[in-house]
Amino acid sequence: MAQPLLSVRDLVVEFPTRRGTLRAIDKVSFDIQEGEVLGMVGESGAGKSITGAAIIGLIEPPGRIAGGEIRLRGERIDNLRPEALRRIRGRRIGMVFQDPLTSLNPLYTVAQQLIETIRTHIDLSEREARARAVALLDRVGIPAAARRIDDYPHHFSGGMRQRVVIALALAAEPELVIADEPTTALDVSVQAQIIDVLKEICAERGAAVMLITHDMGVIAETADRVAVLYAGRLAEIGPVRDVITAAEHPYTRGLMGSIPTLTQTADRLVQIPGSMPRLNAIPQGCAFNPRCPEVFGRCRVERPDPIDRGSRRQVACWLYDTAKAEEAGNV
């Protein structure tokens, strides 16, 4: 297989506090290939957004990357100086944030923000940058883009503002786009439009996408592969069709069972008992073991590493440690 566009290996993100150090991301590893859409799902607090922030160097101090490596086309970027990382952020990695109101400066017009972003990363004149900005707005579906480019962010609806944010993220034609909950606050019909715009433009430009969301429906429609996070750890990763139709990790099965279907006849949806542990109370062994319906002794004392299940699929669960099971049977 070709060298991945993005490679994350054993990523650890920690937040020092007066009561000790909290580990928000605990040895997470994954790759994203050129042109691929990787979905990242999990409950709130699973570590999805922090993973995205770590990749682009936006962990708020005193938080820090405490271990592991992040490589973009083989080049390590997690240890770069802030100025070098700023040149990569926007130019090679674009970011679509969850709330466009916090991504856009309310004091500047959309034109000013787009043109500044374009000229920061690409050597263009003011006129050329403006023409490029209008073309971007038109491509993301802003009606009358040439006129509306001089409006302020509050003149746009929520869906239109999110389109502007996508245009900003794609302004310098990045190789990777990280989209953090890009459709959370939008109507269902607008969600579909935003996802379609993101997919189409990235496909046209050959960019890869890391799509962070809690919505499995969005993942099913959009992603090529999906990574499931739980308590800052990778529970399962694999082709989206395989994971959705035949989830292997008990946590992933619980997520799938909580999604209603048109053919479902049961009175109640599947419910995962309990809640995700706080960062200062991660249990020993598998972090999911207090909520797992298939827990056994080993789960409570040993943490499982991701186990290769073939077809670019891995599951961090002792249920699939066949080598150890065979070894035990031969003793």
The pLDDT of residue 48 is 94
Angle, helices 158-169 vs 126-139, to 10°: value is 130
The full set of domain ranges for the chain reads 6-92+174-330
158 phi and psi angles, rounded to 5 deg = -60, -45
Specify whether the CB–CB gap between 179 and 211 falls below 8 A.
Answer: yes
The pLDDT of residue 202 is 81
Helix (H, G, I), strand (E, B) or coil at 308: strand
The pLDDT of residue 260 is 63
Q: Give the C-alpha separation, 70 to 312, whole Å.
A: 19
CATH class of domain segment(s) 6-92+174-330: alpha beta
The structure's pTM equals 0.90
The pLDDT of residue 197 is 84
Cα 331 versus chain centre, distance: 43
The amino acid sitting at 282 is I
Instruction: For the chain, 331 residues long, give each residue's pLDDT as a single digit of tens.
Output: 678 999 999 999 999 999 889 999 999 999 999 999 999 999 888 999 999 999 999 998 899 999 999 999 999 999 999 889 988 988 999 999 877 777 899 999 999 999 999 999 999 999 999 999 999 999 888 999 999 999 999 999 888 998 999 999 989 889 999 999 887 767 777 788 888 888 888 888 888 999 998 888 888 888 999 999 999 999 999 999 999 999 999 999 988 876 666 565 666 667 788 899 999 999 999 999 999 999 999 999 999 999 999 878 999 999 998 755 444 443 3
Q: Which among 253, 250, 327 is positioned nearest to 292, based on CA atoms?
A: 250
The pLDDT of residue 266 is 61
The amino acid sitting at 204 is E
